[in-house]
Amino acid sequence: MPIQNYIYLCLTLFSIGIIGVLTRRNAIIIFMCIELMLNAVNLLLVAFSKMHHAYVLKSYPDTTVGTEGQLFVFFIMVVAAAEVSVGLAIIVMMFRNTHSVDINFLNRLKN
Amino acid sequence: MNTLVFLVPIFPLLGFLINGLGRKSLSKTAISLIGSGSILASFLVSIVLFFDVKANGGSVTQLFEFIKTEGFHIPFAFQVDQLSSLFLLIITGIGFLIHLYSSAYMHEEEPQHFGRYFAYLNLFVFSMLLLVMGANYVIMFIGWEGVGLCSYLLIGFWFKNNDYNYAARKAFVMNRIGDLGFLLAVFWILAKLGTASYAEVFAGAGKLTAFDITAITSLLFIGAMGKSAQIPLYTWLPDAMAGPTPVSALIHAATMVTAGIYMIARSNILYTMAPATQSLIAIVGLATAIFAATIALKQNDIKKVLAYSTVSQLGYMFLGLGVGAYTGAVFHVMTHAFFKALLFLGAGSVIHAMHHEQDIRKMGGLKKYMPVTQLTFLLACLAIAGIPPFSGFFSKDEILTAAFEKNPLYYYIGVAGALMTAFYMFRLYTLTFLGKFRGTAEAAHHLHESPWQMTVPLIVLAVLSVVGGWIGIPEVFAENAHSLEHFLSPIFAESAKLAEHHSLSHSQEYLMMGGTTAAIILVILFTINKHKNYIPPVSETSGLSKLLENKWYIDELYDTVIAKPVQAFAGLLKNVVEKTGIDGLVNGVGKLVGYGSRQLRLLQSGQVGNYILIMVMAMVVFFLIWFNDGYLVHIFKKII
Amino acid sequence: MIPVSLILIPLITGIIAFFLKEAKLVRSFVLLSSLITLLFALAAAFFSSAPGPALDVEWLPSLGSRFSLMMDGMGKMLCLLTAVSFPAIFIAIQKNEYKNSSSFYGLMLLSQAGLMGVFLAADALLFYFFWELALIPVYFLCSIWGGEKRIAVTFKFFVYTFLGSLLMLAGLLYLYFHTADHSFSLNSFYHISLSGKQEAFIFWLFFIAFAIKMPIFPFHTWQPDAYEQSPTATTMVMSGIMVKMGIFAVIRWLIPVFPHASIQFAHLIILLAITGMIYASLIAFRQDDIKRLVAYSSIAHIGLICAAIFTQSTMGLQGAMIQMFNHGINVIGLWILVDTIEQKMGTRKLSELGGLAQKAPVMAILFVVMALANIALPLTNAFVGEFLMFNGLFSYHVLFTAFAGISIILAAVYTLQMVQKVLYGNTSAFTEKAVDITANVKWVLIVFVIIILVLGVYPQPMLDLTIDTVKSITTKS
């Protein structure tokens, strides 16, 4: 499958994520949109890495060059998981305080 | 002789220091002794110098280098020659008499103010001596400003009275306007010739272009206008009468105001080479002579009459300088110093007797109380009116004859001024000494002749006013009798060579003298007759006489045309340009920054969504730039 | 050795002064310190050998900056001025009480150290360092011990001068990168070669920095405010010595470094300076506050000095040199009198004063002499300077001189008006109970009067002292 298809898919996913972050006020949905963006990037990384690896294999059989991207994806997933746990904890705390998950109530730093 | 030269100014300087520093501890007698004695000592040295100059000619003595730098030096040097030695005699001689007179006149002052007075007076004589003895224009300028300072200090001597202080300030500022002209002339000379010493300047005058000479002489003349009270800078002199009367006699009649004449006589070669300036001087002098005389006709303050008379006489001297009669001008300086000092001292004697009443309408009949004062005053009046054989006749005649040779119109106007002189002087004399006493009975009771310290100077000056003219007897009466001209000839020799000379026939001169003298005598008789039984008018005057009484409203004119606009302009600068203009601009920059920050702060809304939006937009922009930089830069350039 | 001690003595004693607790002790200590500095300065000015690098050691080798000092005639004279002024100021303010006086006097001495450094530095970075060292204590002095509006005014002063410093720093760095050997030394700066455009641009960076310090119209508006609000002792330092930093810098760091630009723009700058003279004189004429009056009068005088320098004629420069010293003495004398009046009468308004000549005759005489020196009467020191400066200006342009000459008249107007309103006339409610000046002030002023008269009659020592600097400039351009 040509790489373009992956890129279009990722771009679409990423844009959906961005638009979600920009337009929604519900913290949980925003969170989900962030995850969407992260995963769009992950997908892209895997796609590029695969492509790169396939290209290098032609000249150097048995090489692992070009697979680092897939490794990064694992890192990102781990970090994202940590982030989700922290982020959800914050949202829970916020909900306890404000009885809402609307981020526009989070402007206390302003004053 | 050279060792003696510096003694002349050093005595008054010492007198100034001793009296100034010791004014609280010294007694009045000691102060007056030191004050007068120092001038007497100077006078004696001056006599020695005078005879030395007469025998051996002039010389220059250098004390030290005043300013010396790369390619430029100004020595602190004194030049004693015919002209300056004559002025030395006038200054120290009359100065001594006036110091003596002051010791009685100022006796009512407290000791420390008495000391202050004598210190100022000594300082004045010192400055005046620097002025006439300096061997270059810079030293002259030092004296020039120094006498201005002393004049300022002495006019405002009674400093509690703010009117006097204003008069003092006015005198100083008007003099400064003239001084600026003087200073510019000095710069001009230095720029063109690289030296300010008289000898070198006069020797190098031939190298100057006509424009340079005209500019230099005109600027110097502006200086003279200020110091010698000529139109348009004369208004300070009548106001200067606020000072004690002996001061008026010394500074504002006999010596300081003649500094301008001295300066022009000193630079006579330059002036002879600048005929345009000469005409200017003659016209300004003549105009001043007439103008001031008209004002003097209607003044009622004894000192104001004399002040305007001084302005008028100074005008005659400038007329003399303008028509090239340098000797005549210097001669008139000398005779004028005698009789005008005498008039002022006489007026002082009257004021002293009248307990500081100066209004002649309240005087009259003083003849019988003050015989010495009256007699000497009368002699002075005859001298100033120009009756032969009194001194004023000879000097004024010399100037007017020279004016006739230049332009008969000058002569006729000058004679008209002389007739007015006779009128106002004898009006003054008659109102003061003749008729009945018009003051209160109380005042009449106190009338008395002045003490000897005051009458002796009067008598000495009266003698000089009578005989002082005899050193300048014109050729028409006797061959080679003009000893002054003979004495001063080395100073004016160069000019005499340059000037064309045409002389009048003797019969014409006799005719002119006779006619003028007869007219003056008629005016005198008319005046005495008219004012003998003077009664102060009840109603306000109107028309021309009101104009004259108010001095043609020149003070008011200057006030509205110069003083007020300058003040308003300064106020405008202070309140508008400085505050809202420059400071406003500076503060405006500060305010703009403040305003800008307040506006920028609004971006920090606290809405997370906004932040992210901005972030995303920025990223989009970055991407666009990153992938299309050449194209975007192109668009950017197009926009600009 | 002497040049370094001129900087080190005030620096070290200044730091020590911070730790002295007793007010009386601090006063005597700083006075002693400043007197020792004066001795060194006198020795430097009149007994030291030919000029040249006085000290040259490694400072910041990685930047190519050395701790090098140089003492030429102008430097000697200005060090002498600084050294004379400080003891005089300390004696004159003996009787004034300052809260937390150890810090006050400590800051004063630090400022002195900075000033000395500015006049001695032969390395641009060092010069900049001392320039700031002199200024920073002054900010503190103004903002802590100043008048009611001190915070706002100090802020203005701070922003103005820091803007100037910033421009100068930018210029310095630019020049540094264009020197042949990447060094900050004066000598490398003198041999720098720039294109005409570069020179013109950097010239203005420097000129604005110095013009703010002098100050030259229209960069002057911080000055009257700062002079008015600062404690008078600081005002004396600012107007007596600190403005000389600007003038000094023009002579040392501007004209020789940018020979072409300084000729190219001379016309404009002289015109600016002269306009400022007239402008400041006119404003001085309408002031009611003596401090502001003296401040504007000072602007007018500095304008003349600046104009004379840019004529680059021997006479103009020579006059400017000695006038730097003379103006310092005269203006400090005036400030001492103003301070006395303010302390004693409780007002600085001319309209509320009057009649002091009756109440305080000694002060009146000293005041009159100072006023006369202010209007450059002959036989006072200022006359010699102004005479030479006007002369230089005249050879540059006749009409400029005539225009500038108006300020001679205006100076007489506003100075005599001040004299009249302070001394003459009748006493007011404020001056009714006035007493004469105290002995310490009297003696300081008498010394000043003697300096004024001696230098007015015989200015030769000062002329000889500074002729080498003048020559070095006129021969270079």
pLDDT at residue C115 is higher than 90: yes
CB contact under 8 A, A21 and B612: yes
Q: Is C221's CB within 8 Å of B156's CB?
A: no
d(CA C346, CA B388): 66
Whether the predicted pLDDT of C237 surpasses 60: yes
Distance from CA of C413 to the nearest CA of B (A): 6
Tokens 């800008």 correspond to B596
Mean of the per-residue pLDDT values of chain B? 87
**Bridge partners for B472 per DSSP:** B482
The per-residue pLDDT for C49 is 63
Query: Residues B309, B310, B316, B322: what is their CA dihedral angle, to the nearest 10 degrees?
Result: -140
Q: Judge contact between C290 and C348, C-beta under 8 A.
A: yes
Contact C408 B173 (CB under 8 A): no
pLDDT tens digits, C341-367: 888 888 888 888 888 888 888 888 999
Name residue C56's beta-bridge partners. Answer: C68
Q: Is the pLDDT of residue C274 over 70?
A: yes
| Position C322 pLDDT exceeds 60 | yes
| Euclidean distance between CA atoms A64 and B15, whole angstroms | 113
Q: Are B363 and B354 in contact (CB under 8 A)?
A: yes
pLDDT for B502 equals 67
The whole-number pLDDT of residue A9 equals 93
Q: Do B607 and A109 touch (CB under 8 A)?
A: no
* Portion 266-305 of C in contact with B at CB < 8 A: 279, 282-283, 285-287
Q: What is the mean pLDDT of residues A3-13?
A: 92
Residue C51 has pLDDT above 60, yes or no: no
For a pLDDT cut of 70, what percent of chain A falls above it?
A: 94
Per-10-residue mean pLDDT of chain B, 640 residues long, equals 81 91 85 91 92 87 85 87 90 92 87 89 93 91 92 89 88 91 92 88 87 92 91 88 89 89 91 90 93 89 91 92 89 91 91 84 83 90 88 89 88 91 90 83 80 88 88 76 82 79 76 87 88 75 77 84 86 84 83 89 76 86 76 71
C308 interfaces chain B, CB cutoff of 8 Å? no
Give the mean pLDDT of chain C. 88
pLDDT, residue B146, reads 92
Contact C429, C304 (CB under 8 A): no
pLDDT higher than 60, residue C34: yes
| Inter-CA distances, C193 with C124, C204, C266, C331, Å | 17, 17, 20, 39
C-alpha dihedral, B262 to B263 to B266 to B270, nearest 10°: -140
Judged by CB atoms closer than 8 Å, whether chains meet at A110 and B606 is answered as: yes
CB C274 within 8 A of CB C403: yes
Q: State pLDDT tens for residues C242-267.
A: 999 999 999 989 998 898 888 999 99
d(CA B185, CA B192): 11
Q: Select the residue from A11, A22, A94, A105 to test the B interface by mutation, using most B Cβ atoms within 10 A.
A: A22
CB contact residues (below 8 A), chain C span 330-359, against chain B: 355, 357-358
Flag if B70 and C471 touch (Cβ within 8 Å): yes
Tell me the β-bridge partners of C55: C69
Quick one: pLDDT at residue B436? 83
Does position A108 have pLDDT exceeding 70, yes or no? no
With touching defined as 3 or more inter-chain CB pairs under 8 Å, the answer for chains A and B is yes
- Return the pLDDT at B576: 83
Q: What pLDDT does residue B21 have? A: 87
Question: Is the CB of residue C402 less than 8 Å away from at least one CB of chain B?
Answer: yes
Given the DSSP bridges, would you call strands B72-80 and C53-60 parallel, antiparallel or unpaired? Answer: unpaired
Instruction: Answer whether C150's CB lies under 8 Å from C143's CB.
Output: yes
Chains with 3 or more CB pairs under 8 A to chain B: A, C
Interface residue of B601, B607, B620, B623 to substitute, partner A, most A CBs within 10 Å: B607
For the purposes of burial, counting CB atoms within 10 Å of the CB of B490, is it exposed (0-12), middle (13-18) or buried (19 or more)?
middle
Task: Sort out which chain A residues have CB atoms less than 8 A from B609's CB and list them.
Answer: 21-23, 25, 103-104
CA distance B608 to B208: 85
Q: Helices (DSSP H) in B194-325: which residue ranges?
A: 198-204, 210-227, 236-239, 245-249, 259-266, 268-272, 275-296, 302-322
Query: Which one has a higher pLDDT value, A66 or A19?
Result: A19
Which one of B10, B68, B70, B129 would you mutate to disrupt binding with C, by most C Cβ within 10 Å of its Cβ? Answer: B70
Contacts of A21 in chain B (CB under 8 A): 609, 612
State yes or no: pLDDT of C375 exceeds 70.
Answer: yes
* Chains in contact with chain C (at least 3 beta-carbon pairs closer than 8 A): B
Rounded to whole angstroms, the Cα distance separating B245 from B233 reads 22
User: Quick check: A16 contacting B, CB < 8 Å?
Assistant: no
Nearest to B160 among C315, C372, C425 (CB): C425
Residues 381-400 of C with CB under 8 A from B: 383-384, 387-388, 390-391, 394-395, 398
- Note whether B159 contacts C378, CB cutoff 8 Å: no
pLDDT at B556: 85
Predicted model pTM: 0.88
Chains A and C touch (3+ CB pairs under 8 A): no
Residues 6+ apart with CB under 8 A from B230: B224, B260, B284, B285, B288, B311, B314, B315, B318
Comparing alpha-carbon positions, the chain A residue that sits nearest to B612 is A22
pLDDT at position B353: 86
Chain-chain contact of C221 with B582 (C-beta, under 8 angstroms): yes
Q: How far is CA A55 from the centre of its chain?
A: 26
Please name the amino acid found at residue C440. N
Q: Does B184 touch chain C (CB under 8 A)?
A: yes
- pLDDT single digits (tens) B464-522: 998 888 887 887 777 777 888 888 888 888 888 877 666 777 788 888 888 888 898 99
pLDDT at C48 over 80: no
**Which of C391, C432, C467 is the best mutation test for B, with the most CBs of B within 10 A?**
C391
Q: Say which of B142, B570, B586 has its CB closest to residue C282.
A: B570
Separation CA C65–CA C126 (nearest Å):
8
Q: Report pLDDT digits (tens) over C79-93.
A: 999 999 999 999 988
pLDDT of residue B317: 92
Residue B440 CA to residue B355 CA, distance in Å, equals: 12
Closest CA to A52 of A80, A38, A74, A72: A72
**Model ipTM value:** 0.92
pLDDT digits (tens, 9 = 90+) for C122-176: 889 999 999 999 999 999 998 888 888 888 888 888 888 888 999 999 999 999 8
